[in-house]
């Protein structure tokens, strides 16, 4: 179905960030993840131009990027504009006649916190293009186009989770995503007795990129040794039978991936049944598996998670994202969520001296379009 025609005075697209509730480092092993869209978002204010050029501006960055969408667009830029330009290139290659326009980008979604600011930017620009052109891709194809833009133009070999979560989210639901089949199940998460808190540790260690590549290589080598296409294909029984023969590092990596896939399924079932106490326990198990077997946590994140899990009203807290800093996510009792968040921040500052920031959020939906005047 084609999107509604934009208002004459322009329009605003809002694309929400995402937090991954559970299922870490399983995506590139063809496994399961369970993200949800969050309230902080990227906003694109869009107005048509008559000169055929697309002018991109980002609040907080000097200057603008100007591109002619009728001419071939290739990678090469190293600034923020490479993300939207990659999206424009993807639509142009698919035959969309992109008109001249101004796109001003703003956000209350922190960059570098593991909350998918890049995916939100890509999906916001994609939705702007579809609105301008009066035609739309299938949502799955749209998410894949945005992933392709990040691969080709930003040089980031991300999995499918971020773009799928931002594009396909529904209000009041998390997404259970099978990263092999790309099947999405929307799991209700609208019980008024619980909420989700996201806490930014304020720490990000530089070794994250290299360590991420090493973890992928270690998983690939383990799968080859075990004779499976990916670690997704390894059952728990097979792991117990064959895992002890692996080198220690690979054995630890496989232990996390196999157990984390099982945790995602158990977490989704617990949420579906309203057993939030069990869901919280599963989140805690996930964190310590990431810390001990996958070795992608850090002392600051362990301290943050430990501080959170001591606070009354917190059902469970874990690191989220690639690791070595970034954010933690917690399932909390809604009636004490704000007070619990304050106590988590205080406890973390006491144990590390670092200042964290956080927010409480409900599960949000996919991208939204509104006339510029109505968007506020």
Torsion angle, alpha carbons of 346, 348, 353, 359, to 10: -70
CB atoms within 10 A of CB 105: 24
Are 236 and 262 a contacting pair, CB within 8 Å? yes
Helix (H, G, I), strand (E, B) or coil at 32: strand
The token pair that represents 116 in the structure block: 């998918």
The token pair that represents 253 in the structure block: 């990596």
**What does DSSP assign to residue 246?**
S
In 13-138, which residue ranges form alpha helices assigned H by DSSP?
Answer: 82-93, 117-133
Are 176 and 31 a contacting pair, CB within 8 Å? no
Considering only the top CATH level, what class is 194-361?
A: alpha beta
- For the chain, 376 residues long, give each residue's pLDDT as a single digit of tens: 556 555 456 999 999 999 999 999 999 999 999 999 999 999 999 999 999 999 999 998 888 999 999 999 998 888 899 999 999 999 999 999 999 999 999 999 877 667 888 999 999 999 999 999 999 999 999 999 999 999 999 888 888 999 999 999 999 999 999 999 999 999 999 999 999 999 999 998 766 568 888 999 999 999 999 999 999 999 888 888 888 889 999 999 999 999 999 999 999 999 999 999 999 999 999 999 999 999 999 999 999 999 999 999 999 999 998 888 999 999 999 999 999 999 999 999 999 999 999 999 999 999 999 998 755 4
CATH of domain 11-188+364-375: 3.30.230.10
Q: How far apart are CA 314 and CA 317, in angstroms?
A: 7
Residues acting as catalytic residues = 162
pTM of this structure: 0.91
Helix (H, G, I), strand (E, B) or coil at 359: strand
- For the chain, domain boundaries: 11-188+364-375, 194-361
């Amino acid at each position: 179905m084609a999107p509604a025609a934009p208002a004459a005075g322009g329009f605003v697209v809002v694309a929400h960030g995402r937090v991954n509730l559970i299922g870490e480092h399983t995506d590139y092993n063809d496994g399961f993840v369970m993200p949800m869209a969050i309230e902080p978002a990227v906003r694109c204010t869009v107005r048509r131009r008559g000169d055929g050029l697309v002018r991109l501006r980002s609040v907080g960055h000097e200057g603008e990027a100007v591109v002619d969408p009728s001419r071939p667009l290739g990678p090469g830029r190293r600034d923020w504009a490479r993300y939207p330009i990659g999206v424009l290139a993807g639509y142009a290659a698919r035959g969309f006649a992109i008109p001249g326009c101004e796109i001003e980008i703003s956000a209350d979604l922190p960059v570098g916190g593991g909350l998918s600011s890049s995916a939100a930017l890509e999906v916001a620009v994609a939705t702007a293009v579809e609105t301008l052109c009066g035609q739309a891709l299938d949502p799955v194809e749209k998410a894949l186009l945005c992933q392709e833009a990040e691969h080709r133009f930003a040089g980031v070999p991300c999995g499918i989770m971020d773009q799928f979560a931002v594009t396909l989210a529904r209000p009041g639901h998390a997404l259970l995503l099978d990263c092999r089949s790309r099947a999405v199940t929307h799991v209700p998460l609208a019980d008024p007795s619980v909420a989700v808190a996201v806490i930014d540790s304020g720490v990000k260690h530089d070794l994250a990129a290299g360590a991420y590549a090493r973890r992928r290589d270690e998983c690939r080598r383990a799968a080859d040794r075990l004779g499976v296409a990916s670690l997704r294909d390894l059952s728990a029984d097979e792991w117990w039978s064959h895992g002890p023969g692996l080198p220690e590092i690979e054995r630890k990596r496989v232990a996390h991936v196999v157990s984390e896939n099982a945790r995602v399924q158990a977490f989704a079932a617990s949420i579906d049944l309203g057993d939030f106490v069990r869901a919280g326990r599963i989140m805690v198990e996930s964190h310590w598996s990431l810390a001990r077997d996958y070795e992608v946590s850090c002392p600051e994140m362990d301290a943050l998670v430990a501080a959170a899990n001591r606070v009354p009203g917190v059902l469970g807290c874990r690191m989220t994202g690639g690791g070595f800093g970034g954010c933690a996510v917690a399932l909390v009792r809604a009636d004490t969520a704000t007070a619990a968040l304050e106590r988590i921040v205080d406890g973390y500052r006491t144990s590390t001296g670092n200042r964290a920031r956080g927010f409480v959020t409900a599960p949000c939906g996919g991208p939204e379009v509104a006339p510029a005047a109505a968007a506020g």
